[in-house]
Amino acid sequence: MKIFNIKYYILFLYPALIFAQVNTYSPYSFFGIGNLESTSFSQQSSMGGLSNSFFENNQLNFSNPSSYSFLELTSVELSGYMNFSNLRQNNLNQDNINTNISALGLGFPISNKTSMAFGLQPYSHVGYYIQDQSLENSIGIVNYNYAGSGGINSATFGLSHIFFDRISIGANLNYHFGTINQINEIEFDTVGFLNYRERISTIVRDLSFDFGLGYKQKVQDYNIQLGFIFSPSVNMNSKRTIFSNTYTLSGTYEYFGDTISDYLAQSGSLKKPNFIGLGISLNKNNKWHLGIDYNYTNWADYTFFGQKYSYMDNLSNIIIGGYWIPKYTDIHNYWNTVQYRFGLRYSNGYLDLNSFDSNSSSSLLLNDYSLSLGLGLPIPKNLSEANIGFQYGVRGTTNNNLIQERYFKIIFSITFNDKWFNKRKID
């Protein structure tokens, strides 16, 4: 019996693009905890993810918990998206489509200066199925199969309070939960070798905190807004089950061989790293908004069951976005009351792709560029709003035999607004 170790770098050297999963189709979700989810609500996504200093009186923003204090209305939002992606490597192409309900949120003021919010949204998604084939000396053809599914979700409770009429301080308590399933296989075409399969199931259950600071100052007809977010690192409790065995194939039948390992519910931790976000915005009420965000996450510090990974690197991104309303009070032309949104986003990280190339001493971070556009459609004779957004982006590169993802995402949401409490208006 011969068993070969699974090599991470195989993903990048020779993969045939075969993917199948509901939440995402991405070979890069193989790494870490999967593809990280950005801001889930359509309003922020249509502005490139602008959220650090985005404080509206009728729109939820879970990214910065200090934003809740600026809510004047009770806001309930349901958001989802449809994602069209194209995977490219050399002359290989594959198109995929997936649809998801991405977020559910409720926020409301409970006093003149205090507000709270509840939400449920994904934190990461895992979805890949990769096949690789190589020719080994004296062995013949060896097939490597990798599959993954699942992800981590977050349930959020947030609270914020206004101090000195201009400064808001807020916090989120997040409960992270989810399961990531992985299957790794080695199959031999040559008779006499036993095939090998490893199943890994990781369950995550733990809490984390986000802290937010918001400042809003009126200068004549304009508002200057500043935002700061900090989420400290936390070792999230995890349980991992590993089962591996040998097997043989005969036609369409599979025969179980020997159990190689069976580790049930090993206790460990997954380190969620520090996050820092800064933002500044300038706006005119019911007319326009323009802002810029910078975010940094220390993913190089990520560990899983005590192990660090050389391919994990720090993630930083910069976002420029905003909206424009031609004439909010126009009762004759509906399209003048629509909120037209736009955004640009550039991300640098969080995977160092060159870490898989022993001949390279430089880094090649997984870059992501995207352009977003969207509409906020007021519902007549109502305080509510329908939202639709469009995002086109490119992730990764085809250089060095790597895989590039191109995606077009349609984001949709409905926001129901009503007055549960009478509350002051914050200028």
Residue pair 315/294 in contact (Cβ under 8 Å)? The answer is no
One-letter amino acid identity for 274?
N
Residue pair 7/146 in contact (Cβ under 8 Å)? The answer is no
Spatial separation of the C-alpha atoms in residues 405 and 304, rounded to whole Å: 26
**Which pLDDT tens digit goes with each residue over 378-426?**
998 888 999 999 999 999 888 877 889 999 999 999 999 887 655 444 5
pLDDT given at position 262: 87
pLDDT given at position 90: 83
pLDDT given at position 16: 37
Spatial separation of the C-alpha atoms in residues 414 and 388, rounded to whole Å: 9
Res 238 pLDDT > 50: yes
pLDDT given at position 39: 65
All domains in the chain, ordered by first residue = 10-418 (2.40.160.60)
Mean pLDDT of 171-186: 96
- The pLDDT mean for the chain works out to 88
Of 177, 194, 174, 178, residue with least CA distance to 186: 194
Q: Which pLDDT band, with edges at 50, 70 and 90, does 230 fall under?
A: very high
Res 254 pLDDT > 60: yes
Res 362 pLDDT > 90: no
Which residues face 261 on adjacent strands?
A: 244
Cβ neighbours of residue 130 closer than 8 Å, sequence gap 6 or more: 11, 15, 16, 17, 18, 19, 27, 30, 145, 146, 147
**Which pLDDT tens digit goes with each residue over 192-215?**
889 999 999 999 999 999 999 999
Question: pLDDT: is 13 or 239 the higher one?
Answer: 239
pLDDT given at position 310: 85
Of 283, 50, 34, 285, residue with least CA distance to 178: 34
**Which pLDDT tens digit goes with each residue over 310-332?**
889 999 999 999 999 999 999 89
DSSP at 22: S
